[in-house]
Each structure stands twice: as C-alpha cells, then as structure tokens.
Amino acid sequence: MPKLKLERFRKLYKSLKTPWKPLNWLILGYLIGIENRYIEIKSAHAVDVAVRKFKAEYEHATTPPEIKMKKTEDGWEMSIGEVDEDIS
C-alpha cells in the first residue's frame, strides 16, 4: 500500500479523508504525487542554496593564462606565459 512520507501530508490526508473508500484512494494518489514533487523541489532548492553559499565563501579571482604567439622559420609557435628563448 502506498504511504505518505511527510507528516504534513499525512495530516492533510487525514483531514480530507471521507467515508467513501474510492475517493480516499483518489485523494491519497494525488497527495502522493504532490508530495513527491514537493520533496524534489525542496531538495533542489536546498542544494542550490548550499552551492551558492559555498561559491560566495570560497570564490577567488582567477586569471586566464596568457597565450603568446611567435612567428618562426617553420611557422608559428604558441606558448602559455613567458618562455625562455635560450633553451635549445
């Protein structure tokens, strides 16, 4: 038998319960669907807030690498940052 996970939805189901069983099953089915969606939204929101908080605390400035292009006899050479020319 399907059950509700959260106490909030169990109380809501008890308040909506009727003497007619088929209607109770319908109410329970809708509440289970709504409860699952509610749990997904709340957990996604909690993760988003935690990620934003983490990024705000630990964000540091990064500088992109400097790419140097140099024409040589054979074509073009590319390096990241400064490169010593004396290396053979």
* Ranges of each domain in the chain: 1-88
- Position 52 scores a pLDDT of 94
- Position 69 scores a pLDDT of 83
Work out the average pLDDT over 15-40.
96
CA separation for the pair 79, 81 (Å, rounded)? 6
Question: Per-residue pLDDT tens for 42-82?
Answer: 999 999 999 999 988 887 777 788 888 888 888 888 888 76
- Position 73 scores a pLDDT of 86
Region of poorest pLDDT, from 10-19, 34-43, 78-87 = 78-87
